[in-house]
């Protein structure tokens, strides 16, 4: 990540704007044990109280790292029931990085967030339809398949 | 605009900043070797 991803301006700008970056050696104790680190790189996103909401293991180039971090930020907000902020991050991910690894999960989570914030089934069905149309072989299309019945 | 990522090196200061700046913390567990 040092050689390829972190030097990119868009990565520097994104991390500087939206996150507090912390770098820890994989074997530094007690953090390595507390966070159950077994491989590198492992990226973990915590809320400001220190609770973990997302992690990613393995190398990511810039155009996968940023959507991965957007998904992580969305999950922080989702798990804190902050649905407008969740949708903001997911919509940015889906709009700017539609071909990213994270995009299908973002679409699924967008449907779930839409349901949780409105108690209407339409967002779930829309998520299913979008996943079927654009990412039919993804695991998230499979996970959304029951929503076709809504 | 920054030209490098300015990494914190300890969790407590990172969390203090996270609370005051209302941001999440990104921890990169890396291999320095």
Each residue's pLDDT tens digit, B1-33: 668 999 999 999 999 999 999 999 999 999 998
- What is d(CA A96, CA A98) in angstroms, rounded to the nearest whole number? 6
Q: Work out the burial of residue A117: count CB atoms within 10 Å of its CB; fewer than 13 is exposed, 13-18 middle, 19 or more buried.
A: middle
Which site among B16, B22, B28 would you substitute to test the A interface, given the most A Cβ atoms closer than 10 Å to its Cβ?
Answer: B28
pLDDT tier at A147 (50, 70, 90 boundaries)?
very high
- Which residues in chain A are closer than 8 Å to B18, comparing Cβ atoms? 20, 46-48
To test the contact with chain A by mutation, choose from B2, B5, B16 the residue with the greatest count of A C-beta atoms within 10 A, namely B5
Question: pLDDT for A67-79, tens place per residue?
Answer: 999 999 999 999 9
Taking the mean position of all CA atoms in its chain, how far away is CA A49?
Answer: 19
């Amino acid at each position: 990540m040092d050689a390829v991803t972190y030097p990119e301006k868009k990565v520097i700008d994104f991390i500087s704007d939206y996150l507090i970056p912390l770098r820890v050696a994989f074997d530094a104790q007690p953090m390595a044990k507390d966070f159950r680190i077994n491989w590198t790189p492992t990226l973990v996103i915590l809320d400001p109280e220190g609770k973990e909401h997302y992690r990613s293991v393995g190398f990511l180039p810039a155009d996968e790292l940023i959507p991965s971090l957007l998904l992580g930020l969305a999950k922080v907000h989702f798990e804190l029931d902050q649905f407008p902020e969740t949708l903001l991050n997911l919509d940015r991910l889906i709009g700017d990085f539609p071909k990213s690894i994270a995009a299908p999960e973002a679409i699924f989570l967008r449907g779930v967030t839409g349901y949780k914030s409105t108690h209407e089934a339409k967002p779930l069905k829309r998520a299913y339809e979008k996943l079927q149309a654009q990412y039919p072989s993804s695991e998230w299309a499979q996970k959304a398949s029951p929503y076709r019945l809504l | 605009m920054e030209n490098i990522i300015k990494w914190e090196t300890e969790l407590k200061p990172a969390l203090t900043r996270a609370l005051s700046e209302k941001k999440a913390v990104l921890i990169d567990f890396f291999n320095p070797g």
